[in-house]
Amino acid sequence: MNTSPWLVDALPDRCRAVIRLGSSTEYAASPRPLTEAAALEPRGFFGATKAAGSLLLLGAAVERGVRAAVLRAFQVYGPGDHSTRLVPVVLSAARTGGTVPLPARVSRRDWIWVGDVVDACVRAATDDALPPGTVLNLGTGRQTSTEELVDTAARVTGRPIATAAGAHPGREWDTADWVSDPSAARRLLGWAPTVDLAEGLARTWAADGGPA
């Protein structure tokens, strides 16, 4: 069950806005950078629930006269992430000497530092000039393959990281092209990502314990 309409009903009068953190998986795969005008063709169950929640929130906000925005984040990473996700798996392998299982086919993602996502959310929540119902993509505009991410992690940690190509089944919605066009967020919020992948991996490595 999606709680977006009930959340809007429960808001106190002092609430300025509701900001929903959506997902790039609400869109179909595309060989070109994805803009907010891209059709909603969710990838998998997760993408479908994200898209449904976004539509429900925007519809409820219009009916109740509440300012709302949806920020569709691309691949968010940073300290404290779930241990089964790619960046924690890669950094754990650097720490322990383990092997990272990789899918057989090429998979690329637009990796965005969690702190930059938080910054965008705060800007959207406090900017009363942001039009109601705005949808914005949050990403760097650069895509990185899984293999490139492993290489970058090995460089910033100073540790060799073994990989096993084809040992991971991958996901049905993985794609060789997955990158944002974040220009609308830059134009409307004055927002831009400040932490590149190498710096973000180094910060995550240090925050999650660094070397063993």
Q: What's the CATH number where 157 sits?
A: 3.40.50.720
Question: Do residues 193 and 112 lie in contact, with contact meaning Cβ atoms separated by under 8 Å?
Answer: yes
Q: How confident is the model at residue 210 (pLDDT cuts 50, 70, 90)?
A: confident
Q: How far is CA 32 from the centre of its chain?
A: 17
Q: How confident is the model at residue 20 (pLDDT cuts 50, 70, 90)?
A: very high
The residue type at 161: I
Query: Looking at residue 87, what is its pLDDT?
Result: 97
State the Cα torsion 181-182-185-190 to the nearest 10°.
-140
Domain membership flag for residue 65: yes
Q: Distances from the Cα of 125 to the Cαs of 19, 71, 128, 132, 163, in angstroms?
A: 6, 11, 8, 11, 41
Q: How confident is the model at residue 15 (pLDDT cuts 50, 70, 90)?
A: confident
This prediction's pTM: 0.92
Domain membership flag for residue 195: yes
Q: How confident is the model at residue 114 (pLDDT cuts 50, 70, 90)?
A: very high
Radius of gyration of the chain (CA): 18
Domain membership flag for residue 151: yes
Could you list the residue range(s) of the whole structural domain that residue 142 is in?
Answer: 4-207
Average pLDDT of the chain, as a whole number: 92
Domain membership flag for residue 212: no
Q: How confident is the model at residue 62 (pLDDT cuts 50, 70, 90)?
A: confident
Query: How much of the chain exceeds pLDDT 90, in percent?
Result: 75
pLDDT in tens, 117-138: 999 999 999 999 999 999 999 9
Query: Looking at residue 35, what is its pLDDT?
Result: 97
Q: How confident is the model at residue 4 (pLDDT cuts 50, 70, 90)?
A: low
Please identify which residue in the block is written with the tokens 């929903």: 20
Number of domains in the chain: 1
pLDDT in tens, 68-113: 999 999 999 999 999 999 999 999 999 999 999 998 888 999 999 9
Question: When comparing pLDDT for 26 and 64, which is higher?
Answer: 26
Helices and strands in the chain: count of H runs, count of E runs: 7, 9
Domain membership flag for residue 10: yes
The residue type at 192: A
